[in-house]
Amino acid sequence: MSIDSKNIESSLQETRKFAPPADFAANANISSEAQYQAMWQKAKDDPAGFWGELASENLRWSKRWDSVMDQSMPETRWFNGGKINACDNCVDRHAESWRRNKAAIIWEGEPGDTRVLTYQDLHRETSKFANVLKRLGVRSGDRVTLYMPLIPELAIAMLACARLGATHSIIFGGFSSDAVADRNNDAQAKVVVTADAGWRRGKEVLLKQAVDESLAKSPTVEKVVVVRRAGIPVHMATDRDYWWHDLMSDVSSDCECEPVDAEHPLFILYTSGSTGKPKGVLHTTGGYLLGTMMSSRWVFDLKEEDTYWCTADIGWITGHSYVVYGPLANGSTVVMYEGAPNWPHEGRFWEIIEKYRVSIFYTAPTAIRAFIKWGDHWPAKYDLSSLRLLGSVGEPINPEAWMWYHKVIGAERCPIVDTWWQTETGAIMVSPLPGITATKPGSCTQPLPGVVPDIVDQQGNSLPANQGGLLVMRQSWPSMLRTLYGDHDRFKETYFSTIPGCYFAGDGARRDEDGYIWVMGRVDDVLNVAGHRLSTMEVESALVAHPQVAEAAVVGFPHDIKGEGICCFVTTKSGEGNESLERDLIQHVRKHIGALATPDKIKFAAALPKTRSGKIMRRLLRDIAAGRESAGDTTTLEDYSVLAKLRENDEG
C-alpha cells in the first residue's frame, strides 16, 4: 500500500463527554477502570496466560491445546493442538443446560411472518441439516457456499457446516451471479445452499435464478439445496437441486459434532479488493470463537435477560461475529430481521424494538443518518424504553449523528458503544466499555483487553497526541485473520508490509490527550491539499453538522494549483440543494475546520453509492469527481442506478 510520508492533519474538535449512567455502571460486566486496566495490562504482558485462562473458563474443548499462542505476526497461531467445535459451543452446550427452552433466535420476515427457535430447536435443526450435508457428500474441510436471505436457515446452515468441520463461505444475498461464480471458484465450493428468493422492500430478490446462472461458471459445485422462502416457481435440475424441506423431512436429528483443530478454517468471507479480485479472508475456529464471545460480553454487557439485536445481514462480518457466533456462544437471545429498515414504513426498526422489547441495539452510522433524514416523528411513535445500550458499527460515526442517536433513540440514558474493527480482525478491537468509559461523540475510545494499537508515521514511529497517522496493531490477537484463501503472499503484502512487524489494514487515526482513539477513515481517503493531508471523515462530519444535511461523502480530485481539490457529495434532508445552500456549506466547513479545508465543489445528490452493507463507495465518487470511468470490483454496489444518476448530473 503506497502512503504519503506526511502525517494526517486533524482539525476536528469535540469537547462533549458523557459518563456512564450510575445504575448501568453498578451492574456492568466490567465495572471499574481498575478492573479494565488490570485486564488490559495482563493481556499485553502475558497474552498466553490471559487468553488461556479465558479459553479454559468459557469454551468447551474436546482436547486441551499444547500451546496458547505463537505471537510472531503474520504467521500467528492460537491454541495449537487444541480440539474444539464452534457449533458445540454455540448450540449444544446451551441445549444441554437450563437454556434449552430459552429463545436463541427471534426472527421476523419482511412481510411480517415470525418464528422463534429455542436452543433446543436450534440444536435439532442444526443436527438435521448437518446430516443432510453429509448425505450430499460434504466432509470436514470441504467448502460450502451459502447465498441466502436473512432467514433462520442461514444461521442453521452455517452452524451445520461448523458442526461437520466444513468451511462456510457466505455471500450476501444480493450479489450478482458473476460474483457468486467468482467466489465459488476461488473457494472451490462443493455445495451451494440458497433460497428460491428473498424479500427486500417488498420485492422478490431472485436468488435461485442467480445461482443457476453462476453454476454455468462454477465447475466444482456438485449439489444445490434450496429453501422455499417466497414460494415462487424455480428451475430444479435433476440430481443436482434439492428442496431443503424434502431433505429435512426424513433425516435423523442425531449428529455428533466433529472436533476440529483450533486452527481449522471456520469460514472464508470475501471482501472487495481495489483490483477486480475480491479477497477471501480466512478465519479459524478456536481463537475467532473466543474473540467474538468475549468481546460480545465486554462491549454489549450481555446479561441472560437481554434481547439483543444487531441489524447487520449475516452475509457481512458483523453478522458472522455479532448475530451468530459471539452472542450464541454466550447463550444470548438474538433478534433477526429479514428486510429493509424502511419497509413498509420508516418506523419498522422502532416497531420491532417495541414488539420484542429489544434491550441492546447495534446498527451502522449509515442507517442512523437515514433515520435522521426520515424524521424524529418515526421513533417517537414507538415505545423504546426497553433499550439499555446502543451500538454503532461499520465506519466512523460523525458527532452529530452520535448526538441524535444518544438523544432521540437512547433518551440520554443509554450508553453508546462506538466500535472499531474490520472483517480481517474478526472481532471488535477498540470500543467504549459501557460501564466505565466516558464517551466522546465520534471516538471509539480505547482498546479492548488483548488489543495493542498504536498511531505511527510511515517509518513505524509512534506519534504524539492529536497527530494523525496510521492505525496499527503491535501484537497479535486470537480472532485475527490467518490468511487470504489461496494467496498467502497477498495476505502478507496487504497487511504486514507497510509497517514491518505490525498489522495495518488501511485506516488513519489519532489519539487525543486522554488516550482516546479517533479513526479518521481509510488512508486512501485522505486528501492532500496544498501539502496538507486532511481526513475526509472530518470534512464530512463538519458538513453533516449543518442542520440541512443528512449525509455527505468527501473525495479528492486533481487540482491544477493545490494538487488535490475537495469535492463534497451532499444529500440534504429535503432532497434538494441550491446555490445559496452551497455557499452556506462552504462557509460552514471553513468555520468548523479552517480555510485549508474549503470545499472546491459541492455536488447535491439524492443518494450516494453504497455497498450492500451500507458503506459509501468513495472510490467510485473519486472517479466521478475526476471525470474518469470506474475500474475495479463493483460487485458490492447496492444500486447501480445511483451511480448512473450521479454521472448524469455531473455531465449535465
Residue 2 has pLDDT above 60, yes or no: no
Residue 637 has pLDDT above 70, yes or no: no
Measure Cα distances from 189 to 39, 209, 221, 259, 348 in Å. 41, 18, 6, 22, 36
For residue 21, whether the previous peptide bond is cis, meaning omega lies within 30 degrees of 0, is: no
List the beta bridge partners of residue 229. Answer: none
Show me where the domains of the chain are located. Answer: 530-651
pLDDT of the residue at 5 = 39
For residues 265 and 283, the answer to whether their CB atoms sit within 8 Å is: yes
CA Rg, the chain, in Å? 24
Residue 197 has pLDDT above 80, yes or no: yes
Give the span between the Cα atoms of 586 and 590, in whole angstroms: 6
- pLDDT band at 1, cuts 50/70/90? very low
Q: 3-state DSSP call for residue 79?
A: strand
Q: 3-state DSSP call for residue 502?
A: coil
Residue 167 has pLDDT above 80, yes or no: yes
Measure Cα distances from 292 to 69, 209, 436 in Å. 17, 34, 20
As a whole number, mean pLDDT of residues 49-57 equals: 98
pLDDT of the residue at 643 = 73
As a whole number, mean pLDDT of residues 149-155 equals: 98
As a whole number, mean pLDDT of residues 134-147 equals: 98
Give the span between the Cα atoms of 296 and 301, in whole angstroms: 7
CATH for 530-651, options being 3.40.50.2300, 3.30.300.30, 3.40.109.10, 3.30.160.270: 3.30.300.30
Q: What is the value of pTM for the model shown?
A: 0.87
- pLDDT band at 633, cuts 50/70/90? low
As a whole number, mean pLDDT of residues 264-289 equals: 86
Q: Per residue in 314-357, pLDDT tens?
A: 999 999 999 999 999 999 999 999 999 999 999 999 999 999 99
Give the span between the Cα atoms of 554 and 562, in whole angstroms: 16
pLDDT of the residue at 272 = 64
Give the span between the Cα atoms of 352 and 310, in whole angstroms: 12
pLDDT of the residue at 360 = 98
Give the span between the Cα atoms of 313 and 319, in whole angstroms: 5
Residue 6 has pLDDT above 60, yes or no: no
Give the span between the Cα atoms of 168 and 141, in whole angstroms: 10
Q: Per residue in 553-563, pLDDT tens?
A: 999 888 877 77
Q: Per residue in 434-455, pLDDT tens?
A: 999 999 999 999 999 999 999 9
Give the span between the Cα atoms of 604 and 587, in whole angstroms: 16
pLDDT of the residue at 445 = 97
From 34-38, 412-416, 611-615, the region with the lowest mean pLDDT: 611-615
Residue entry with cell 462506538: 418
